[in-house]
């Protein structure tokens, strides 16, 4: 009888342990979420996108987009649609002078809409132009976003009627580190930087 009781206890303990272990596995599966890694390489590299915009359009939140060395003639739009989503992105080049994103004087080089958290790193951002009345941000236009620019060169961007030839931020936050803003222009002031209703760190 004593042996039978011991076996019953062992069975109960084993069942309890299995149940706890299963709960632990369930919670771990729900918590872990690996960052999405995307690459941009126009040289027909497998699993890479040809343009930065393509990679952005396929990115989920918490994505890291690595851009190879080269000149990309693009005007990249991030979260600019009618229904912006919470999106956190890192776009990282191969270094200033190696990865160059050129706006072709057609629009802002990077135009970032609400609810985004964006880090731009290790690239040159040049030749953007934001046209229109009282516009802002020829190189980087940031609207209600959290934007970080690190290890970048922002140069030769302009806003003919407005502010922030290099970088313009409205109703958001901006952090700039180890970066150079040079030879940007804006008719309304703030050739390098323009802030409108925003907190800023440089």
- Which residue is listed with tokens 């580190």? 177
What confidence score (pLDDT) does residue 35 get? 81
CB 173 within 8 A of CB 195: no
pTM of the entire predicted model: 0.81
SS3 98: coil
What confidence score (pLDDT) does residue 32 get? 39
Dihedral angle sign, alpha carbons of residues 180, 121, 94, 141: negative
What DSSP character marks residue 80?
-
Dihedral-angle region of residue 151 (phi above 0 means left; psi in -120 to 50 means alpha; beta otherwise): left
Asked if residue 42 has pLDDT above 70, the reply is yes
More confident residue, 16 or 79: 79
More confident residue, 79 or 199: 79
């Amino acid at each position: 009888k004593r042996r039978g009781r011991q076996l019953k206890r062992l069975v109960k303990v084993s069942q309890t342990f299995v149940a706890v272990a299963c709960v632990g596995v369930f919670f771990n599966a729900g918590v872990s979420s690996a960052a999405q890694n995307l690459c941009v390489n126009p040289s027909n590299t497998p699993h890479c996108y040809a343009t930065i915009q393509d990679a952005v359009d396929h990115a989920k939140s918490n994505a890291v987009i690595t851009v190879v060395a080269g000149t990309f003639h693009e005007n990249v739009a991030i979260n600019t649609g009618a229904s912006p989503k919470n999106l956190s992105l890192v776009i990282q080049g191969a270094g200033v002078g190696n990865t160059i994103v050129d706006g072709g004087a057609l629009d802002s080089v990077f135009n970032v809409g609400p609810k985004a958290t964006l880090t731009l790193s290790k690239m040159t951002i040049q030749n953007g132009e934001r046209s229109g009345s009282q516009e802002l941000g020829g190189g980087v236009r940031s609207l209600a976003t959290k934007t970080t620019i690190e290890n970048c060169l922002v140069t030769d961007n302009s806003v003919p009627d407005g502010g922030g030839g290099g970088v313009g931020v409205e109703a958001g936050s901006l952090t700039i580190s180890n970066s150079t803003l040079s030879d940007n222009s804006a008719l309304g002031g703030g050739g390098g930087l323009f802030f409108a209703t925003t907190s800023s760190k440089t």
